[in-house]
Amino acid sequence: MGGSLYLHQQKPIFLTVLELKDVCFTIRKDGEDVNLVDHVSIQIPKGHFMAIVGPSGCGKTTLMKTIAGLNPESDGSLIWEGRNLSEDGDFSPSEIGYVPQFSIAFDPLTVDESVEAATRLRVKSRNTEELDHRIDRVLDETGLGPISDRLVKVLSGGQKRRLGLAMELVSDPKILLCDEVTSGLDPRSEREIVRLLHDLSRKDGRIVLSVTHSLAHLELYDSILVLHEGKVAFHGPPEQLNHYFSVTDTEEIYPKLSKQPSERWQNSWNKHRASYYNMLEKNRLRLIESGDLRPSSVEPPAADDEKKESSTSTQETRLPGFLSQFATLLSRRWRIFFRDRGQVFLQLAILICFPLLVILFSEKASGNIRHFSDMRQDNIIQEIKEQQSVRSDQAKVGSAVSGIIMFQVVLLALMGSNNSAREIAGERPIYEKEKFGGLRPTAYLASKIAFLSCIVIAQSLWMAFFVNLFGTFRGDFVQHAIFLLLINASMTSICLAISAMMRTAEQASLLSIYLVGFQLPLSGAVLALPEHIEAFTRPFISAYWAWSGSVEALQSQVHGAVKSVVDTSLSDHNACLFTLAVHIVAALGLAWIGARRPQWD
């Protein structure tokens, strides 16, 4: 059939915009190659609304992700507007919209704020008026205008699906992929969503592909693609579906599929493919004649118009720059933070309670340390008693000071873990979706660093000033405050890297908790480790370097008291600063790697 579909005297009616030629997606299972998508060949014209159906596990979502470029095809090719996506690169972010089954919006935001953020991240607007016009148009198209000020968390299932569509439509995609967007909805809401998708396919020649397990409302689709074990069993008009499978009810199709091997269904389809595609052509012509489908949506534009249209499209859908995306993300993150009362109260409780805990245990650290008498005692017993008393004071104060410093260090390490363990992993589905839509990982990670830096500075300086105000750090306060800031920044960065590497927030939180738990015993500040273990673990333990650097900032007499009770050797000030800085830089580098790596479920 080639790249065009024909009717009557081989007159081209519309171009095949999307074509799959023997596309496969293969995985390795039990030592063998398994095709989850098995030599799929279909053609889809402009302005087409297609349902992808089939039993559970037949490869519907896998095929959708392969078309989207999320699953690299193992064999075959995908042709889009004459361009081989397998060789010339995937869709540009402005060409494609992908609506997953899960919600892709933050609960604390309103509908309008969610769509505005999506627009600012995906489309470069010339001015505020153009931005507002695009947002209002999308809200109107999806029927969300009347509830634009409603919070996402109170939306119904159908409204959330509409919001997901709205957030994809902001870039005017030429192809819209919808993965189970009607699942879990009541019959009325399901029909409304299918009707909305139908209407969206009639605008500007947009292709809409919808994966669905439901066999209801099939009459609203232009064609139905039935998959069985990754193979095409049927692709044709919905009114021919029952006839092809020789059933009286569409609900009988899935049981009928299981009665024959998928290879037989695929061979049968290949034999009848031409006739059913001819029926699709006739249906398309009737739609054009009836006015339901505008000819401009299916015919290629004239040369001059094409250039003009291409120029306009490029201008309207150009991606925003780094700074624009960064500012949008940072503003959104602060808005979400302040609307999450639980998180705000937790941060305030940490800021108040953790320094109070330090004060409760700091009284012993303020004790005096007596000097040895300059006068030699004539009584040897008296001299021994004086030495014992001085050493007792040193041990008491030195142990208390060392413990208080380590207590502050560990508490700030715990704060750092709480700050960032869930920061990326907790919004993984939303982030991956936005990255697919053109979000720069650099802008995303930079916004996280900027947000967390404010939290880290507030926590660390407040801990230092509060403890020094109601107690006293017996040394260089500025140097101590710097090390408290660095331990918090180090642990925050490390846990941010963990969050970026992990797929789920639960995995990231658990690993971060273990990491903080090992800081105290492996630091050697309380119990010295064997030298061969200490030499290996010490470079990786941020708590040791912050504790050691703070101890080095103590007054000489207090410093001597600490050294008299600590078995672990101390490192100098510059080594501590350098090592903590390396921890932060290395952790941010790992966070960058994790943020760039695709981690779709």
The rounded mean pLDDT for the chain is: 86
pLDDT reading at 179 higher than 80 = yes
pLDDT score for 524: 75
Answer with the residue of higher pLDDT: 380 or 585: 585
DSSP 58: S
How far, in Å, CA of 54 to CA of 12, rounded?
Answer: 32
- 32 three-class SS: strand
pLDDT reading at 531 higher than 50 = yes
End-to-end CA distance of the chain: 36
pLDDT reading at 489 higher than 50 = yes
Domain membership of residue 273 (yes or no) is yes
Domain membership of residue 374 (yes or no) is no
Domain membership of residue 192 (yes or no) is no
Buried b (16+ CB within 10 A) or exposed e, 443-463: bbbbbbbebbeebbeebbebb
Tell me, yes or no, whether 226 and 129 share the same domain.
Answer: no
- Number of structural domains, the chain? 3
The DSSP element (H or E) to which 311 belongs, if any, is helix 303-316
Tell me, yes or no, whether 204 and 345 share the same domain.
Answer: no
Q: Where on the phi/psi map is residue 57: left (φ > 0), alpha (ψ -120 to 50), or beta?
A: left
pLDDT score for 305: 47
Domain membership of residue 353 (yes or no) is yes
Q: ∠ CA 319-594-164 to the nearest 5 degrees?
A: 45
pLDDT score for 350: 92
Q: How confident is the model at residue 226 (pLDDT cuts 50, 70, 90)?
A: very high
How far, in Å, CA of 163 to CA of 112, rounded?
Answer: 9
Q: pLDDT above 90 covers what percent of the chain? A: 61
pLDDT reading at 478 higher than 60 = yes
pLDDT in tens, 63-113: 999 999 999 999 999 999 889 998 888 899 989 999 988 778 999 999 999
Beta carbons of 596 and 441 less than 8 angstroms apart: yes
Tell me, yes or no, whether 220 and 342 share the same domain.
Answer: no
pLDDT reading at 185 higher than 90 = no
pLDDT in tens, 397-445: 667 788 888 889 999 999 999 999 999 999 999 999 999 999 999 999 9
Q: Which of 31-35, 446-450, 494-498 shows the lowest mean pLDDT across its residues?
A: 31-35
- Identify the bridge partners of residue 231 per DSSP, sorted by sequence position: 228
pLDDT reading at 308 higher than 60 = no
How far, in Å, CA of 494 to CA of 415, rounded?
Answer: 12
pLDDT score for 9: 37
- Predicted TM-score of the model (pTM): 0.87
pLDDT reading at 557 higher than 70 = no
pLDDT score for 288: 82
Tell me, yes or no, whether 227 and 121 share the same domain.
Answer: no
Domain enclosing residue 551, as ranges: 322-366+380-596
Alpha-helical segments (H) within 149-208: 157-169, 187-201
Tell me, yes or no, whether 268 and 390 share the same domain.
Answer: no
- CA distance to 102, 415, 586, per residue, from 583 (Å): 36, 17, 5
Tell me, yes or no, whether 14 and 121 share the same domain.
Answer: no
Tell me, yes or no, whether 310 and 434 share the same domain.
Answer: no
pLDDT reading at 382 higher than 90 = no
Tell me, yes or no, whether 102 and 134 share the same domain.
Answer: yes
Q: What HEC string does 320-389 produce?
A: CCHHHHHHHHHHHHHHHHHHCHHHHHHHHHHHHHHHHHHHHCCCHHHCCCCCCCCCCCCCHHHHHHHHHH
Domain membership of residue 434 (yes or no) is yes
pLDDT in tens, 254-290: 999 999 999 999 999 999 999 999 999 888 888 888 7
Domain membership of residue 438 (yes or no) is yes
Domain membership of residue 178 (yes or no) is no
pLDDT reading at 469 higher than 90 = no
How far, in Å, CA of 139 to CA of 113, rounded?
Answer: 11
Q: How confident is the model at residue 38 (pLDDT cuts 50, 70, 90)?
A: very high
Tell me, yes or no, whether 457 and 588 share the same domain.
Answer: yes
Burial of 469 (0-12, 13-18, 19+ CB in 10 A): exposed
pLDDT score for 303: 47
Domain membership of residue 181 (yes or no) is no
pLDDT reading at 383 higher than 70 = no
Q: How confident is the model at residue 39 (pLDDT cuts 50, 70, 90)?
A: very high
pLDDT score for 388: 57
pLDDT score for 311: 40
DSSP 426: G
pLDDT reading at 141 higher than 90 = yes
pLDDT score for 64: 95
Q: How confident is the model at residue 13 (pLDDT cuts 50, 70, 90)?
A: very low
pLDDT reading at 307 higher than 50 = no
Length of the chain: 601
Q: What is the dihedral of CA 45, 290, 7, 52, to 10 degrees?
A: 30
How far, in Å, CA of 424 to CA of 440, rounded?
Answer: 14
pLDDT score for 314: 40
Summarize the confidence of residues 121-132 as an average pLDDT.
92
Tell me, yes or no, whether 288 and 330 share the same domain.
Answer: no
The DSSP element (H or E) to which 41 belongs, if any, is strand 32-45
pLDDT score for 82: 87
pLDDT reading at 476 higher than 80 = yes
Q: Where on the phi/psi map is residue 210: left (φ > 0), alpha (ψ -120 to 50), or beta?
A: beta
What residue has token string 């937790």? Answer: 346
pLDDT reading at 52 higher than 80 = yes
CATH number at residue 235: 3.40.50.300
Indicate the residue among 274, 291, 316 that finishes a domain.
316
Tell me, yes or no, whether 399 and 533 share the same domain.
Answer: yes
How far, in Å, CA of 358 to CA of 473, rounded?
Answer: 12
How far, in Å, CA of 79 to CA of 547, rounded?
Answer: 60
pLDDT score for 227: 96
pLDDT score for 287: 83
Summarize the confidence of residues 359-384 as an average pLDDT.
60
Tell me, yes or no, whether 355 and 461 share the same domain.
Answer: yes
pLDDT reading at 117 higher than 90 = yes
Answer with the residue of higher pLDDT: 239 or 523: 239
Indicate the residue among 274, 300, 316 that finishes a domain.
316
Query: Which DSSP string corresponds to 229-279?
Result: TTEEEEEE-GGGHHHHHT-SSGGGHHHHHTTS-HHHHHHHHHHHHHHHHHH
pLDDT score for 470: 81
Neighbours of 197 (CB within 10 A): 25
Q: Which of 146-150, 267-271, 428-432, 516-520 shows the lowest mean pLDDT across its residues?
A: 516-520
Summarize the confidence of residues 574-586 as an average pLDDT.
96
pLDDT reading at 165 higher than 90 = yes
pLDDT score for 295: 58
pLDDT reading at 374 higher than 90 = no
How far, in Å, CA of 407 to CA of 501, rounded?
Answer: 29
How far, in Å, CA of 36 to CA of 71, rounded?
Answer: 11
Indicate the residue among 292, 316, 340 that finishes a domain.
316
- CA distance to 116, 206, 269, 430, 548, per residue, from 426 (Å): 22, 33, 44, 9, 34
pLDDT score for 3: 41
DSSP 90: -
- 392 three-class SS: helix
